[in-house]
Structure 1
């Protein structure tokens, strides 16, 4: 474990520190991926000071495959490091047939977490997230279930993902009254998706809740991958969480402009995009995926230059406007 490679940032007003760049196991772990390749990425992550591994019950395919793969790697390589890593998972997702196979009812959430723990081979996760809000389940029940998970030792901390600012404030207040503070929110955030700046970040600051953002590279759009067309093996070509219609001339013009700014900073477009997301102290960590150890190492190099001048930030916003995008 190399704790010197990157900075660790406090998660909200808690005592927990997370690395600036964390590893998400959304796309590149699970069925169809060689376990040795996944193991190599995990080992590289540790070499890069990544102590935080983010998973969800649904990640695969098939469902649960990412948790199972991580569990195998944990048993083989990481068992002695349990106290030095943060493992998170999420529930809410459709996982089995019938009325109890999805949603945020106490019935489903406790069952899906127990299944996750079995796949992971762990006695507890460090953070359990509600993957999304469930308008059909009272917020009081959702909060009470998270509180129960922590009090029964299934999770050390509780978080939410993809909640609106208003519902985030509501569940934070409920959990505070129960004595189990909400630790963290996980929303999408990138140079192409700045919605959390409007009000969510303010709510998190006021509530003392950390922010771990996903898709900081906009599913690969904020790289040089699409500048010369859509590669056959890309997410856009396969329609996996990114469709070809999102690769617009406006987006490509913006990425080319970012490339010029990044080159002046001695960074790649991806490194600039990650550093930009981390410029706000309210953002605790950015989640990145990786298809290889080399890609992960390149992404973590974003921490070598996190600071931005006022002129650089203005240039980023200007490039967005000139490309016909909202800044």
Structure 2
């Protein structure tokens, strides 16, 4: 029987408000993209969720297609939630998403009203929940009108199936229009989820983060460690069992090979600053505006604890930031 640590809110985890909303998230949130599927160790998955909550992580991030296989992460987290966290439901922020391929046929992906609302119903069933706290459009649909996708998100709020809505990976032009449509429907969009790391500064380069800050929205970023490249473990080759070593993984060997010199230089910089590379990378992300939270993955409790310990690092010195910019420079910002 799990009994949560009574000291979990003793100040070890800072929380940040998403823009002008009432939504507050831990500075580090637990992403369930990897490590919670049916192919993973479920005893370790349960231990990771328990340990995360004990350390003040109140946000677990999912999507309909997380696994593998797709849907299995929601099933496993849902089972653990019902068995261990039912009495803590009102302390938790649970998010899910719709948009990537989940089932066969014309409505199995993208942003149609049919897909978005059907996917949400399926997610709630797998999660064993009456509602999620945040429901995202996971990616923009190039063919479905934005009015239809945003209308589906608004319906999810009106039906009581989500408390907040969010957008993920939308380019700036579409993001602006989508937020305006939601506003006209009486629905606020307090949160945006992009990939962001020292090695991938896309939302910064495209002016998305500046626009979010100006319009009272928060950014919760995924892959802050660039799929593990910023952990330092790839500086001397591809370790056995790592993401890049798996044929089914998103991180490919050629991606690592293309950036190994940069990774080594960043590792040396972190060493000079007296911190591990992954702590430097997480601290860098959290020091950027308007980042509210960084989503991390963890294969073990030890990995989770190690990442959470990055919160003990002070804000980076300007001299260190300048060196990071020299090694991984931002692009000249485009006007949109």
TM-score by length of 2: 0.93
2:13 match:
6
CA drift at 1:22 = 0.4
Q: CA offsets per residue over residues 249-272 of structure 1, 9 Å max, x none?
A: 6x2222222223323443211111
2:219 match:
211
From 165, 181, 185, the counterpart of 2:192: 185
- Alignment of structure 1 residues 122-201 onto 2, 5 Å: 122-198=129-205, 199-201=207-209
Alpha-carbon separation, structure 1, partners of 2:132 and 2:97 = 10
Q: For the Cα contact (< 8 Å) 1:169–1:207, is it kept in 2? A: no
Aligned residue in 1 for 2:110: 103
SS at match of 2:176: helix
- Measure how far apart 1:326 and its partner are: 6.8
Q: Which moved more, 1:191-200 or 1:65-74?
A: 191-200
Q: What is the rounded CA distance, in whole Å, between the counterparts of 1:8 and 1:264 in structure 2?
A: 29
Task: Please name the residue that 2:311 is paired with.
Answer: 303
Give the C-alpha shift of residue 34 in structure 1.
2.2
Does the CA-based 8 Å contact 2:273-2:320 persist in structure 1? no
Task: Decide which of 219, 238, 263 is 2:246's aligned counterpart.
Answer: 238
Conserved 8 A contact 1:279-1:307: yes
* 5+ long unaligned stretches in structure 1: none
Gaps of 5+ in 2: none
Give the whole-Å Cα distance in 1 for the aligned partners of 2:99 and 2:268: 41
Give the C-alpha shift of residue 166 in structure 1. 0.7
SS of the equivalent of 2:328 reads: helix
Distance 1:61 1:14, change over 3 A: same
Does the residue aligned with 1:258 lie in a helix, a strand or coil? helix
1:9 alignment partner, SS class? strand
Give the total of aligned pairs: 323
Corresponding residue number in structure 2 for 1:36: 43
Deviations 1:221-271 (A, max 9, x none): 11121122111211112141011001126x222222222332344321111
Q: Deviations over 1:173-219 (max 9, x none)?
A: 11111111112110000011011112111221222221000001000
Match of 1:53 in 2: 60
Deviant stretches of 4+, over 6 Å = none
- Which residue matches 1:120? 127
In 2, Cα distance between the equivalents of 1:320 and 1:131?
27
* C-alpha distance after superposition, 1:119-171 (max 9, x if no partner): 00000000000110001111111111111111110000000101001111101
TM-score relative to the length of structure 1: 0.95
- C-alpha root-mean-square deviation of aligned residues, in Å? 1.5
Instruction: Verify the 8 A CA contact 2:31 2:61 in the aligned structure 1.
Output: yes
Q: Does the 8 Å contact 1:320/1:326 carry over to 2?
A: no
1:319 Cα deviation after fit: 3.1
Aligned to 2:301: 293
Q: Distance in 1 between matches of 2:273 and 2:84?
A: 37
Map of 1:281 onto structure 2: 289
Query: Residue 328 of structure 2 corresponds to which residue in structure 1?
Result: 320
Output one character per residue of 1:300-326: Cα deviation in whole Å (capped at 9) or x when no partner.
1111124122111111122336xxx97
